[in-house]
Amino acid sequence: MRFLLDDEQREFARSLDALLTSADTPAVVRGWAAGDHGPGLTLWRRLADAGVFALGVPEAYGGVGPLPVETAVAFVELGRHGVPGPLVESVAAGVLLGGAGGPAAKEWLPGIASGTAVVSLALEGYGPYALDADVADAVLTVAGDELRLTRGPGAPAGPGVPTGPGGSTGRPAPPGPGAPTVSVDPARRLFRPVPGGEVVAAGPGVREAARAAGTWATFATAAQALGCGEALLRATVAYVKQRTQFGVPVGSFQAVKHRLADTLLGLEFARPLLYGAAVELADGAPGAGAAVAAAKVAAGEAGYAAARTALQLHGAVGYTEELDLAWWLRRARPLRDAWGTPSACRARVLAG
């Protein structure tokens, strides 16, 4: 099946592409990896102004969502430009809080939609880590039917907590997230959530909301992986047109053409699965979870294959820190495994 975006969706993609191209995202990624979050948070607010974080937040809380197709459009662009930060987690947190409801939803969802609140998320079944918890205003975790929230040091005090001059609450600052776990991608900083946290919702509805949030996180990560693979393929095609051997561009060699064609086919096979899953999510179809898992397998594997192709055809220069390509190479495998490993997603497809 061929999925076509409408004019408004295509314009949304073009506007995000222009915004991110002008933002010099490779420099933002380098700064984020080095612990300089300022440029990344500035870009975060610009993305919020463009409506990216409102896509998973219900209209009742200042969002426009949930809009799965537009989310796919946005996260393909975010992956293609390599934007750092807990992007997936903030959008999934919007779905989680929107489903769970209660005071925490009223407190945090407008901030998520407007970009004034950066939220990370860790859910059972998807690994023990929260991405970039050191920069998040809050980290959400779900255990059983309890939704817990741990505030970051700069987060608002919350309802009913008196504040003093300069926003001081008169209480100790929340504990920091600890040391990050070493990641293949230095711009993806992984933290184990601080034990405990404030219980902000409980009951069967939390379990269902967590299930929906996990599906959305898997879906958005699949879109990021597809965009990452596209960026790697484009960079590689441009490189083999310029690099010469025996007096001709290496891109004219049949073996190179075949490798690039296989990479392109993998990405183009994943694309309709991604948008098919978006349609099922939008319709609330019972098989949406399995469709999302299938898209994640295809996009994750295609993005990782694009990274292997890029590294082989760039040669040793692909390893160098000075080449922007290195950051996309490092991201492809973590995106393949984040929010649903290939084996876990295949099992979900079979179960569905």
Residue 171 has pLDDT above 70, yes or no: no
Distance from C-alpha of 118 to C-alpha of 111, rounded to nearest angstrom? 8
- Sequence-distant (≥ 6) Cβ neighbours of residue 165 within 8 angstroms: none
Quote the pLDDT of residue 176. Answer: 62
Over range 330-348, report the average pLDDT: 97
Residue 168 has pLDDT above 60, yes or no: no
Report the residue count for the chain: 352
CA 350 to chain centre: 25
Tokens 């929230």 -> residue: 149
Between CA 76 and CA 67 the distance in angstroms is 14
Is residue 236 over pLDDT 50?
yes
Residues above pLDDT 70, as percent of the chain: 93
Q: Are strands 138-143 and 119-123 parallel, antiparallel or unpaired?
A: parallel
* Share above pLDDT 90 across residues of the chain, in percent, rounded to a whole number: 84
Instruction: Give the per-residue pLDDT at 352.
Output: 81
Which residues lie below 8 Å from residue 230, measured CB to CB, with a gap of 6+?
76, 79, 80, 267, 306
Q: What are the tens digits of pLDDT across the range 276-305? A: 999 999 999 889 999 999 999 999 999 999
Question: How confident is the model over 46-105, as pLDDT tens digits?
Answer: 999 999 999 999 999 999 989 999 999 999 999 999 999 999 999 999 999 999 999 999
Return the pLDDT at 169.
39
In the prediction, which pLDDT does 180 show?
86
pLDDT classification of 156: cutoffs 50, 70, 90: low
Provide mean pLDDT across the span 327-352. Answer: 96
Which of 18-32, 78-92, 179-193, 271-285 bottoms out in mean pLDDT, i.e. has the lowest?
Answer: 179-193
Residue 27 scores a pLDDT above 50: yes
In our burial notation (b when 16+ CB lie closer than 10 A, e otherwise), range 150-177 reads: bbbeebbebeeeeeeeeeeeeeeebeeb
Provide the pLDDT for residue 320. Answer: 85
Q: What's the token pair of residue 343?
A: 């084996």
Mean per-residue pLDDT for 242-259? 94
Confidence class for position 165, pLDDT limits 50, 70, 90: very low
Helices (H), 24-170: 25-33, 38-49, 68-81, 87-100, 103-114
- What is the average per-residue pLDDT within 242-249? 92
Cis check: omega of the bond before 66, within 30 degrees of 0: yes
The reported pLDDT for the residue numbered 233 is: 98
